[in-house]
Amino acid sequence: MSVPSPTVWRVSSPVARQLAFDELETPLRETTFVVVDLETTGGSAEQDAITEIGAVKVRGGEVIGELATLIDPGRGIPPAIVEITGITNAMVVGAPRIERVLPSFLEFAAGSVLVAHNAGFDVGFLRRAAAQCDLAWPRLPVLCTVKLARRVLTRDEAPSVKLSALAALFQASTTPTHRALDDARATVDVLHGLLERVGNQGVHSFTELVDYLPNVSAGQRAKRFLASSLPRSPGVYLFRGPGDEVLYIGTAVDLQRRVRNYFTGSETRGRMKEMVALAERVDHVACAHSLEAGVRELRLLMAHAPPYNRRSKFPKRAWWISLTTEAFPRLSITREPAAVALGPFGSRTAAADVAATLAELCGVRTCTTRISRRGTHNCPREVVGGCAAAGRHDAAEYSAGPATVAGLINGNDDGPLLTLRTEIDQLARAERFETAARRRDRAAHVLRALRRCQRLRAVAAIDELVAAKPAVGGGWEIAVVRAGRLAGAGVARAGVAPMPVIEALVAAAETVLPQGTPLRGALPEEVGLIARWLSEPGVRIVTTTDGYCEPARGAGSWMSWCELAESAARGAGYDEIAR
């Protein structure tokens, strides 16, 4: 016996362009909605199954298509459900299974906003069915008429938001009957009635409708106009207060969309709501791409230190581990790095922990005794938790320790790391797991610090590097980097030869005068942004004055071991780091 396919009725209507949903101002009258209703064997998407689907496609107030079919759930329908829906076991005999129906429905709903009354229920069943059928669930926007009704209607006007009550309120042309197509048709009339109400409140686009749903204060919503003049492009935005002071700085791929979010219910942070209440204006700096936006944000944060930003306001306040210049050098933690230094660290505590491990690994003293060049270091060995370079050493003997630290930081000597790894393996095999765990975790922290420092130094060491990344939609995002700083940024649009654009950017790029610090004067966070961007898929080096290189015996070659160690710290076990 042949299996029937879903029944689809198509109704002719004027052709209208279906706008993409990344367009903020998609008018509601041009938005395609697919209103769907399901009947099921019960209330659990995990345990029950769909017995009927009904869907109505509408645009501009007109019905342009319908889909409806019974579905064989592959199991018996409970009597209580039969009493509610009227769908019996006999009615679904010979009906198509969900495997046949769901692809047709997904094709029917493609490119639309999915609407349902109590959408969590219907969409939950559909998503579960898609997973069971091994079908990818499309990223369709979802609108729930229950939530919309609760937002639009008062309790006096609508004590209940059941479909039957709302259908009566809006005088729907179809009475809900607990059958899928009837209920979907009734929901269409409810949707149109609700959209008329929000239209009277200045909601005319789909995105405005999404923004309207959360219950935000009138003052917060009243400031949405601050975003209206912003471009739909990457950049940095600056909220300014009554005295033209900068309150907050942020970046966005789409400036208008990001700033609009501050005036909707999607913004839940108390500090940001307070900031929005104070804001009088939003300025912006247009940028070629996300890398330029990130760098400009860092520089603006340093210049303005806005009160509502919490991170990156003081990029020069990082901590560094350096060797002192005395006859018996020690590791010191400072704001200003020496020529050979490890960092940056976000906190003094983090730097101190790594410094203690380095001192122990390399035999560098941790005592603070002043020792002349002709003197002798002589801290006792038997003191628990004493000096890391305990024992009697003259200056020549002691110099091996600081030299090892410098070699480790510069990536010229990984001997201490090899020794530490061997010690951890021996402790694990001896079942001294707690001690091994402490050593492992300390080693991983040191490796991460070394890796970050060596990677940033490798970028900052290049006098000039020009790189390009494929842009979304075609073309190239271009960056000119000089001594760890972004000196120029631009875009070669699709169809435009990139080399003339690159040559013009290089010619107009900022002149950079390197300094003698480990990062040649560049801000660590800026170099970090550039390093991450250079590592993104598809990025190509166009030209460079110096080849990018990291030390052969640096931390980069230890990352596999480090990742295993970190995995073990999360509970994978010691056997993984012993291999």
Collapsing DSSP to helix, strand or coil, 466 comes out as strand
For residues 287 and 291, what is the distance between their CA atoms, to the nearest angstrom? 9
Neighbours of 411 (CB within 10 A): 21
Report the chain's C-alpha Rg in angstroms: 33
For residues 213 and 142, what is the distance between their CA atoms, to the nearest angstrom? 12
Q: b/e per residue, 211-240, with b = 16+ CB within 10 A?
A: bbbeebeeebbebbebbeebeebbbbbbbb
| 571 DSSP 8-state letter | I
* Residues contacting residue 475 through CB under 8 Å, at least 6 positions apart: 491, 492, 493, 494, 495, 496, 498
Collapsing DSSP to helix, strand or coil, 297 comes out as helix
Q: What is the length of the chain?
A: 579
Of 478, 472, 457, 451, the closest CA to residue 533 belongs to: 478
Q: Which of 178, 192, 204, 445 is catalytic?
A: 178
For residues 461 and 261, what is the distance between their CA atoms, to the nearest angstrom? 40
Residue 74 · residue 53 · CB < 8 Å: no
Beta strands in 205-306 (DSSP E): 235-240, 246-252, 281-286
Residue 202 · residue 263 · CB < 8 Å: no
| 192 DSSP 8-state letter | H
Instruction: State how beta strands 341-345 and 319-323 pair.
Output: antiparallel
- At residue 521, φ and ψ (nearest 5 deg) are 90, -5
The 3 state secondary structure assigned to 108-145 is: HHCCCEEEECCHHHHHHHHHHHHHHCCCCCCCCCEEEH
For residues 201 and 222, what is the distance between their CA atoms, to the nearest angstrom? 12
Collapsing DSSP to helix, strand or coil, 99 comes out as helix
Is 178 in the active site? yes
* Residues contacting residue 545 through CB under 8 Å, at least 6 positions apart: 462, 463, 464, 465
Residue 160 · residue 133 · CB < 8 Å: no
For residues 316 and 307, what is the distance between their CA atoms, to the nearest angstrom? 17
Of 17, 525, 152, 151, the closest CA to residue 315 belongs to: 525
Torsion-angle region of 172 (φ positive above 0: left; ψ -120 to 50: alpha; else: beta):
beta
Which residue type is seen at 91? M
Q: Which residues are catalytic?
A: 178
